[in-house]
Amino acid sequence: MVDVLAATQQVRSAVKSDESLRTLAAISTAHWVSHFHIFVLPMLFPFLKQQLGVGYVELGFALTVFAVTSGLTQAPIGYLADHIGARKVLLMGLTVGGFALIMPGLHLSYPWLIASAVLLGLANSVYHPANYAILSAHMNEARMGRAFSIHTFAGFLGGAVAPAIVAVLVATVGGRGALIAAGAVGPLVALLLLVVGIPDASAADRRSAGTEVPAQSVITPALLVLTIFFMLLSLSNAGISNFGVVALMSGYGASFSSANIALTAYLGTSAIGVLAGGFLADHTKHHGQVAAACFAVNAAIVLLIATINLPLPLLIAAMASAGFLGGVIAPSRDMLVRNAAPPGAAGRAFGIVSTGFNFGGVISPLLFGWIMDQNMPHWVFGASVGFMSLTVLLSLATERSPHNSSANPGGDADASRGPARGQSVKTDIAGGGTVRRI
């Protein structure tokens, strides 16, 4: 009888593991699409400028509209994901994002481009709250950090391959064809997710599972601090990512190819660092301390770049090290949000803090563009050091937040599905038969 029970338990564990892997692959694919779609319009700026007869200021305004729309809708979309289901919201986001690019491909005009930017911003606001809600509810708790890191890596990869894919599409089917083909990826992936059958995460699921918790405000001091934390992360990275090449060329005497090699090293090692950070996040409960330590070292490296004209090999090494440490932080960053989220509010929590990214996206082009207009290229890196230093302080503040310990004891409770504090339940983790009391 014991052997039969053990065999049954092993089968259940294998099935649950397969379901988790399938869910992770599907959600990561959706995240790939989100970052790919973000880069489509900027990669087509030369084509759009010629076809529409507008300047780069008008084209840049479309990106500002995108960032503002995404920032204003992140929190409402998170609320929607928690109440009608993250799966529905994600599928709608993929479809809307695809339509946003197909639309100007069929009817190209500047008003349609602005409308496209609005719809892309709305679609972009879907991915973080919906994706993280599903992952938080259905991934193995012991591998949550690695699940977050793979999800983030997929997004990085989508942005990294976008220029090459768009270039090939333009060469083969033209600019309009590139818009239509890139947009079609969204509905196709939505269809794929329907076929795969990704699970849902919503209030209705928690009620049916008997783990509904009392209603409470999701706007907590910890999440407000994390929203500022996300904004500082965006600002510290945006200056280097968007203005690093021109800063190195004008202030450091680097050639165009050398500056691009240095930036490629920064972006490439960031993706590698994300995967490494996932393992680190799964083996520590002190995610704020991990983020603070990585950013403190990162600030020192970037300060070195800001103050010294390094030889090219050392510059590439320094940029690669800074990129790697910036990537390592990402899974711990996501775990901080998950641990700070009130039970059953993962979608809203990630929606709220992700507005910090969008605020940074609105501010950074103006700030770093002004720095370059003032002929102060070294301050592109110097300002990034300042934002990193503030991020270190906020990381330590979130580590000490009393909400983290109360909402998620020890950092290992399931913040998206867990019962109210003091309620005793038995939970089968990944089919492994482990009994956990909260």
- Residue 130 confidence (pLDDT) above 50: yes
pLDDT score at 241: 82
- Residue 401 confidence (pLDDT) above 80: no
Q: Which of 167-176, 357-366, 416-425 has the lowest mean pLDDT?
A: 416-425
pLDDT score at 404: 45
User: Residue type for 20, please?
Assistant: S
- Structural domains in the chain plus CATH codes: 2-199 (1.20.1250.20), 221-411 (1.20.1250.20)
Predicted TM-score (pTM) of the model is 0.70
> What pLDDT digit, counting tens, does each position of 154-166 carry?
988 888 788 888 8
> What pLDDT digit, counting tens, does each position of 293-332 carry?
998 999 999 999 999 999 999 999 999 999 999 989 888 8
Measured between alpha carbons, how far is 65 from 234 in angstroms, rounded to an integer?
A: 17
* Nearest Cα residue to 190 out of 105, 67, 99: 99
